Amino acid sequence: MNRYVVLQQLGDGTYGSVVMAQRRDTGEKVAIKRMKRKYYSWDEAMNLREVKSLKKLNHANIVKLREVIRENDTLYFVFEYMRGNLYQLIRDAERPFPEPVLRNILYQVLQGLAHMHRHGFFHRDLKPENLLCAGPELIKIADLGLAREVRSRPPYTDYVSTRWYRAPEVLLHDTRYGAPIDLWALGCIAAELYTCRPLFPGNSEIDQLHKVCAVLGTPSREEWPEGYVLAEALRFRFPACAGVPLARVVPTASPPSLALLAALLRYPPRDRPTAPQALRFPYFAVGAALVLPPPASRARRSGSRIENENLPPAPNALPVAIPGIVGIGAPPHRDRFADILGGEVVHESESEAVRQRSGSGAGARRGRSVLAALQAGAGGGAGAGAGGGPAPCPAAAAAAAAHYLGTSRYVAGTRIDASLFHPVPLRFHQEATTVGSGAPRVDWAAKYLR
């Protein structure tokens, strides 16, 4: 500890006190947490949850642990220094922050939570005092002393987190909670950021539950049967409350932010979004003209999937209109891989219009696409439409195009239907020779691309 000079006291808690210090050699400011309990071995110190979690978590929105010092059986944690916390930022604000600033704060917290949950930890004590900041531009999650591993086996202690930000399942003494309690706490923090006052300031656990029900309404037994089982075990009866719309509780919040709040503040933990799911809410889609739901996860290798976007449109197909967007129909079908194959694929319906505009058959073939070659081959040879030969048969060309476009090409792991290609006899032993032997060499690429 002689490498640091203590500048001032920052805070004092149940398990330790925090001071601001400065390195003697570099002048860097740090925050040093001095644990009140004595540690008589390094193994005992390294088994602390805060040390184990911070050693594994390295993220821009999680406070960094610089080093651990054990001196005279006293344990010191050296952290990066942050000017204040979110509680001080809310308290000192002269007026409520604009929504873009609040969106940036919540986005950073969710990014840190997503990283933490992805690596198998959940915080359990998320509150404004544990969100360190350097102004509203940079937020970092701190104080992981109560963090637990997701893979650790319950039961957990039922006295975690500050009461105002405690999830209802924890208030009902559930010992099998998990990461969703962090999302509930974040919902409470988000509402407090908009109103500059706590959302559920209960004086006790019973009063806390009554305040939650007064705002969100009484949960139904069908909605949250596990909560009623926990309440009956404690001989607690939910108060009959109709609830208040969140738009009245948080009047300055926009509709996308109210949708996020309503999702985070749901009674059943399974119904709350995960941190990555919350990051995909429309609230964070800044500048997007059209917000669509996230695509469903695709299988890595699927032998039955067909690329429907390359199928020709049905004759009686109607354009699909997107709600809220005027004048936008279904996008025209086009081959996304035309630049790789040598030109854009033109379907039969499009080729007729092109012929009428251009007055010649050559206008229907844009480049040397595979489909154009098939249409030419089905119509009477390679010279059809370009060299004055016979015109391609429309029925044969349409059949060849439909058969080719119906095959599941381009999809990794699927079988490619090669019945439309001429078989190339491969004579490996006769034609594959060593360099410099004088025998004729074979251009295999030219053979496959004929």
The predicted pLDDT at position 93 comes to 86
List beta partners, residue 84.
Answer: 133
Q: Is-contact 205 171, C-beta < 8 A? A: yes
Per-residue pLDDT reduced to its tens digit, 162-215: 789 999 999 999 988 899 999 999 999 999 999 999 999 999 999 999 999 999
What's the average model confidence in pLDDT over 434-443? Answer: 49
The answer to whether residue 330 scores a pLDDT higher than 80 is no
The answer to whether residue 291 scores a pLDDT higher than 50 is no
Of the candidates 73, 125, 335, 339, the residue annotated as catalytic is: 125
> Residues annotated as binding site?
33
| Residue 143 confidence class, pLDDT cut points 50, 70, 90 | confident
Question: Taking the complete model, does pTM exceed 0.75, yes or no?
Answer: no
The predicted pLDDT at position 357 comes to 52
- 271 catalytic residue (yes or no): no
List beta partners, residue 79.
Answer: 31, 65
The answer to whether residue 73 scores a pLDDT higher than 60 is yes
Least confident of 64-68, 142-146, 442-446: 442-446
| Residue 80 confidence class, pLDDT cut points 50, 70, 90 | very high
Per-residue pLDDT reduced to its tens digit, 28-46: 999 999 998 899 888 888 8
The answer to whether residue 272 scores a pLDDT higher than 90 is yes
> Residues annotated as binding site for ATP?
33
More confident residue, 25 or 384: 25
Nearest-10 crossing angle of helices 180-195, 99-118 = 170
Residue type, 57: L
**Letter string b/e over residues 119-130, b meaning 16 or more CB atoms within 10 A of that residue's CB:** eebbbbbbbbbb
Q: Roughly how many angstroms between the first and final C-alpha of the chain, as a whole number?
A: 76
Q: Which of 78, 86, 92 is nearest to 126 (CA)?
A: 86
Q: For residue 14, give Cα distances in angstroms to 11, 31, 32, 122, 437.
A: 10, 17, 15, 21, 84
Strands 16-23 and 74-80: unpaired
| Residue 395 confidence class, pLDDT cut points 50, 70, 90 | low
More confident residue, 40 or 389: 40
List beta partners, residue 296.
Answer: none
